Amino acid sequence: MGADVMTNQAVTTNAEAADAVPPGRRLGVLHGVKVLDLTRFLAGPFGGMVLADLGADVLKVEQLVGDSSRANPPYFHQGDSAYFMSINRNKRSIALDIRTDKGKNILRKLVADADIILDNLRAPQRKKLGLDYEELAQVNPRIVSVSVTGFGSSGPFADRPAYDIIVEALAGVMSVTGPIGGPSVRAGVPIGDITAGLYAAIGSLAGLQTVHATGRGTHLDVGMLDCQLSLLSYLAQYYFTGGLVATHQGREHLSIPTYNTFVTRDGSEIVIAANTEEQWQALCTVLDRKELCGLERFATNADRLAHRDELITVLRAEMSKWDRDSLERALMDAEVPVAAINTIDVALRSPQVAHREMVVRAPHRNGGYFRTLGATIKSETSPGGEFTSPPALGGDTQAVLHQLGYSADDIADLADQGVIKST
């Protein structure tokens, strides 16, 4: 009952609000680039959507049962899971059993005409299905093959399955996330998956440049664990250089005490990022504590870091004298970076978010529109049209096969044999 109620509420809210936001818009910078997206769930499909938002023709190659995220609860719109809708706009879909000989033959024909193929299969699975790079290159020497897996295609963990929380844990990301002293927590957004999807898109674009430069394709190996380790950035370098094993950072920054979270008089949370010397002095001026700048123990960021506890105690006491709006205005006027901690609903209503068209509407194949996030990359010089609906499972199977030269009778036979599914 609870899930049904949530589903109905989500549909009603979307339907009422979709007309109030602008249409989602793609770019055209990848117009003409053909992508086969064999991935499912989150990391790979997110990377495929990035390419689709940039204008690529992305064909989602699904199992006959479909991407498992199609059934992900609790919210649904017009029969589609909200989870699925969030990462599969601007794509087409063919439902194909690539384990069958006829299915493999269809896939080979698609590969022959593609520029990029995305998969999230471990190396032995790719080999078994004829999707390892050596075989793909025989079909299309210019193909860019991008594999997104938990641990990459080699190494002692290569055959282990992985999800977002697994790689966040193994990479040490969770060990620095959470209140000081612990416990460890995962990030509130799926950074393990999303980061891997972004690297997959970056790798795809680099692969296209390789083809442009050499005429030959390439295989790019993206491991979610590798991607998470890259996010450690300066924390890893602190360990390499100074031997520091960072732990839970809570609301604070490891190196900059004035990069922190504070609570104002009205109980609101606010973040301040007074990183530079100029910003530190401006902060003291706003708080009417200019004498702090003249104290030797607070003279430089290194000094302030050495006396972090004392400084933070003083700053928290001063912040608590202000209401949030007044403090935010005063700091912004002084050019000290500051922001309230928004809840998701407030963040999505921000005037900056509206101006950047980051909340938009997209059409649904079953009629009407739904609200969704806009494309991140903008361009006034390379428009590519409006968003298209997330695809039905196998919704483009017949059209794709017709383009490959299959007749209506051929397609019917393939459906009867369980090679394809068409809706």
What residues does each domain of the chain span? 2-233+357-421, 259-348
Does the structure show a pLDDT above 50 at 12?
no
Does the structural domain 2-233+357-421 have CATH classification 3.40.50.10540? yes
Does the structure show a pLDDT above 90 at 8?
no
Tokens of 216: 């030959």
- Catalytic annotation present for 193: yes
CB contact burial 18-55 (16+ within 10 A = b; e otherwise): beebeebbbbbbbeebbbbbbbbbbbbbbbbbbbbbbb
Does the structural domain 259-348 have CATH classification 3.30.1540.10? yes
Does the structure show a pLDDT above 80 at 5?
no
Q: What percent of the chain has pLDDT over 90?
A: 95
The pTM score is 0.93
Residue of 119, 193, 226, 396 with catalytic role: 193
Average pLDDT score, the chain? 95
Q: What is the pLDDT of residue 19?
A: 86
Q: What is the pLDDT of residue 2?
A: 36
Q: Using pLDDT thresholds of 50, 70 and 90, give the confidence band for residue 7.
A: very low
Q: What is the pLDDT of residue 1?
A: 30
Tokens of 243: 């031997």
Q: What is the pLDDT of residue 17?
A: 82
Does the structure show a pLDDT above 70 at 405?
yes
Does the structure show a pLDDT above 90 at 303?
yes
Give the position of tokens 């090679």.
419
Q: Using pLDDT thresholds of 50, 70 and 90, give the confidence band for residue 14.
A: low
Label residue 146 exposed, middle or buried (CB < 10 Å: 0-12, 13-18, 19+): buried
Q: What is the pLDDT of residue 9?
A: 44
Does the structure show a pLDDT above 80 at 344?
yes
Q: What is the pLDDT of residue 150?
A: 97
Q: Using pLDDT thresholds of 50, 70 and 90, give the confidence band for residue 3.
A: very low
Structure confidence by residue, pLDDT tens digits, 84-113: 999 999 999 999 999 999 999 999 999 999
Task: Compute the C-alpha angle 235/207/224, nearest 5°.
Answer: 35
Structure confidence by residue, pLDDT tens digits, 161-215: 999 999 999 999 999 999 999 999 999 999 999 999 999 999 999 999 999 999 9
Does the structure show a pLDDT above 60 at 229?
yes
Q: Using pLDDT thresholds of 50, 70 and 90, give the confidence band for residue 58.
A: very high
